[in-house]
């Protein structure tokens, strides 16, 4: 709630010719000779300087929700929190994983991939438990997942790499994520048109920190598909690591029991079965985003 001791409760009707998309409630506070007109948005306050009640017309356009002008005005969303930092760290790890896989730095790739999987689970738990969910986090989290899946899949599929993933499975993984990425850009554009009807630039379109306009909520089947992809790709990295380790053990006596060979065979069988789970859940989750679009893409007013 607003602090009435700091703001005088003055209700004014804003001229529609000057503020065409603003509500009727504003608060005036004396400050020396000038007045400061403070219009409260659902996300953060937006200040316009005034002199003796005359608005300064050189203001940045901002759409104001008529119903929620005076609500949630004191609390400003902080994007610099632990869940978002963990998500950003996953984005940084993705290209490093691809580089290490292509250059056969398999142990480093495995450690980075495990770190990305753990932080993917951890950042969501922290955000929900401590109420640190933000529009930025809802966009960055699936973007980090898609980047991790894309980079790892390409590194395990390209001819110059290990060629471990069959082309049909790689097509499902890459195709689904690319289609969903294009769908996200489309709804970002539509939500910006709705939230900032006065127009926006390309820089503002990509500035999701200052101009949040949409909240992405993944479906349950999409979460399962991401989980299966992580297990599937992680198993692939484990297979490469075991093969590399067995290659260094060639000088040992072949009659000696080698548990690594048994584990390698088990991993191959698991990856073969997991490929079918990737295809089924991948196609299902891709369709769920289009069928239930109202539940997965929520525009900010």
pLDDT in tens, 120-177: 999 989 988 998 888 788 888 989 999 999 999 999 998 877 889 999 999 999 998 8
The domains of the chain, with CATH numbers, are 1-76 (no CATH), 82-299 (1.20.120)
Distance CA 278, CA 286 (A): 12
238-263 residue pLDDT tens: 999 998 888 766 555 555 557 888 88
What pLDDT score was predicted for residue 249? 61
Regarding pTM above 0.85, the answer is no
User: Coil, strand, or helix at residue 28?
Assistant: strand
DSSP letter (8 states) at residue 27: E
What pLDDT score was predicted for residue 23? 46
Least confident stretch, 12-16, 24-28, 92-96, 193-197: 24-28
What pLDDT score was predicted for residue 174? 93
Residue 32 has pLDDT above 50, yes or no: no
59-96 per-residue burial string, b: 16 or more CB within 10 A, e: under 16: eeebbbbeeebbeebeeeeebebebbebbeebeebbeb
Residue 106 has pLDDT above 90, yes or no: yes
Helix spans in 130-166 (H): 135-157
What pLDDT score was predicted for residue 253? 56
What pLDDT score was predicted for residue 30? 41
């Amino acid at each position: 709630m607003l602090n009435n001791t700091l703001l005088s409760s003055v209700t004014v009707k804003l001229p529609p010719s000057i503020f065409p998309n603003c509500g009727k409630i504003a608060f005036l506070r004396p400050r020396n000779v000038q007045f400061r007109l403070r219009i409260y948005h659902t996300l953060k306050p937006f200040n316009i300087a005034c002199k003796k009640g005359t608005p300064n017309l050189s203001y940045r356009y901002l759409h104001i929700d008529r119903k929620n002008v005076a609500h949630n005005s004191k609390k400003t969303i902080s994007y610099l929190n632990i869940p978002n930092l963990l998500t950003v760290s996953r984005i940084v790890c993705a290209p490093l994983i691809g580089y290490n896989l292509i250059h056969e730095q398999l142990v480093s790739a495995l450690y980075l991939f495990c770190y990305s999987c753990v932080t993917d689970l951890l950042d969501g738990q922290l955000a929900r438990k401590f109420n640190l969910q933000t529009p930025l986090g809802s966009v960055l989290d699936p973007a980090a997942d898609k980047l991790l899946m894309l980079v790892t899949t390409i590194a395990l599929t390209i001819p110059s790499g290990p060629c471990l993933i069959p082309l049909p499975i790689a097509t499902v993984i890459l195709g689904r994520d690319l289609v969903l990425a294009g769908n996200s850009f489309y709804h970002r554009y539509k939500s910006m048109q709705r939230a900032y009807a006065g127009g926006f630039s390309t820089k503002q379109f990509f500035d999701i920190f200052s101009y949040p306009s949409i909240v992405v909520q993944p479906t349950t089947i999409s979460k399962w598909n991401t989980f299966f992809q992580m297990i599937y790709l992680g198993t692939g990295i484990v297979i490469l690591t075991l093969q590399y380790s067995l290659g260094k053990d060639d000088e040992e006596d072949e009659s000696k029991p080698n548990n690594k060979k048994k584990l390698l065979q088990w991993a191959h069988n698991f990856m073969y079965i997991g490929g079918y789970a990737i295809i089924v859940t991948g196609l299902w989750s891709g369709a769920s985003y289009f069928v239930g679009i109202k539940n997965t893409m929520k525009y900010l007013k």
